[in-house]
Chains A and B, each alone.
Chain A
Amino acid sequence: MADAAFWAICLVVAPLFFAISSFVRGGLAHVFGPLAAWLNALAVLGLTVSFARSGPLRYAIGGWQLPLGINFRIDGLCVLMLAMTAVTGLAVSMYALGYFSLRIGSARQMSRHEQQRLFFWPLWLLLWAGLNGLYLSSDLFNIYVTLEITGLAAVSLTALSGKPAARLAALRYLLVSLLGSCSYLLGVALLYRCYGILDMAALSRLVSPGPLLWCGLALLTAGLLLKTALFPLHFWLPPAHANALAPVSAILSGLVVKASFYLLLRLWGEVFAQVLPPAAYVLLGALGCGAVLWGAAQALLQKRLKMLIAYSTVAQLGYLFIALPLIRLDPGPAARQAVVLLILSHACAKSAMFMAAGSIFLKAGHDRIADLAGIKEVLPVSSFAFVLAGVSLMGFPPSGGFVGKWLLLGVSLAGGQWWWGMMLVTGSLLAAGYVYRVASRLLVFKAPFFSRRQAIPPVMEWSAVLLAVLAMLLGLLAGSPLELLAAGNQVFSPAGLEVLR
Chain B
Amino acid sequence: MNTLLFYDFSGLALLAIGLHGLIRSSHPLRKILAANLMTSGVFLIMISGARGTGQTMIDPVPHAMVLTGIVVSVSTTAVALVLVCLVQETTNRALLWQKRKREKWGRTDG
Q: Which residues of A contact B (CB under 8 A)?
A: 68, 141, 144-145, 148, 152, 155-156, 159, 162-164, 167-168, 170-172, 174-175, 178-179, 181-182, 185-186, 188-189, 192-193, 196, 198
Contacts and interface: CB of A to CB of B under 8 A. Distances in A.
Contacts of A181: 72, 76
Given A148-B76, A152-B79, A164 B90 contact: yes
Contacts of B45: 186, 189
A145 B42 contact: no
A168 B39 contact: no
A159 B69 contact: no
10 contacts: A145-B68, A152-B75, A152-B76, A155-B83, A171-B87, A174-B79, A175-B22, A182-B18, A182-B35, A189-B42
A68 B61 contact: yes
Contact of A172 (B19, B52, B96): B96
Instruction: Sort A-B residue pairs by CB-CB distance and give the 10 closest, nearest first.
Output: A193-B49, A189-B46, A164-B90, A178-B35, A164-B91, A171-B83, A167-B87, A182-B38, A148-B72, A186-B42
B13 to A, nearest CB: 13
Main secondary structure of the interface of B (DSSP, over half): helix
Contacts of B39: 182, 185
Contacts of A178: 22, 35, 76, 80
Main secondary structure of the interface of A (DSSP, over half): helix
A159 B22 contact: no
A186 B66 CA distance: 11
A179 B22 contact: yes
A178 B80 CA distance: 10
B84 interface: yes
A142 to B, nearest CB: 9
A162 B96 contact: no
B49 A192 contact: yes
Contact of B79 (A155, A185, A189, A192): A155
B92 to A, nearest CB: 9
B65 interface: yes
A196 B96 contact: no
A156 B59 contact: no
Contacts of B59: 196
Contacts of A198: 61
Given A145-B72, A152-B75, A152-B79, A182 B42 contact: yes
Contacts of A170: 83
A146 B32 CA distance: 21
Contact of A189 (B49, B84, B87): B49
A178 B36 CA distance: 9
Nearest to A170: B83
Contacts of B5: none
A141 B83 contact: no
Nearest to A185: B42
A133 to B, nearest CB: 13
Nearest to B45: A189
A466 B65 CA distance: 43
B99 to A, nearest CB: 8
Nearest to B92: A164
Contacts of A167: 83, 86-87, 90-91
Nearest to B68: A145
The interface centre, meaning the residue of A141, A156, A168, A182 with most chain B CB atoms within 10 A of its CB, is: A182
Contacts of B35: 175, 178-179, 182
Interface in B41-81: 42, 45-46, 49, 52, 59, 61-62, 65, 68-69, 72, 75-76, 79-80
Contacts of B86: 159, 167
B69 to A, nearest CB: 6
Contacts of A164: 87, 90-91
A186 B68 contact: no
Given A148-B72, A152-B75, A182-B39, A192 B87 contact: no
A499 B42 CA distance: 30
Nearest to B15: A186
Contacts of B83: 155, 159, 167, 170-171, 174
A193 B47 CA distance: 10
A141 B63 CA distance: 12
Nearest to B78: A152
Nearest to A184: B42
A427 to B, nearest CB: 31
B82 to A, nearest CB: 8
Given A167-B86, A168-B99, A192-B46, 16 more contacts: A141-B65, A145-B72, A159-B83, A167-B83, A170-B83, A171-B96, A172-B96, A174-B79, A175-B35, A178-B80, A181-B72, A182-B35, A182-B38, A185-B42, A189-B65, A193-B52
A192 B69 CA distance: 15
A16 B57 CA distance: 37
Contacts of A144: 69, 72
Interface string B2-18: 00000000000001001
Nearest to B36: A178
Nearest to B59: A196
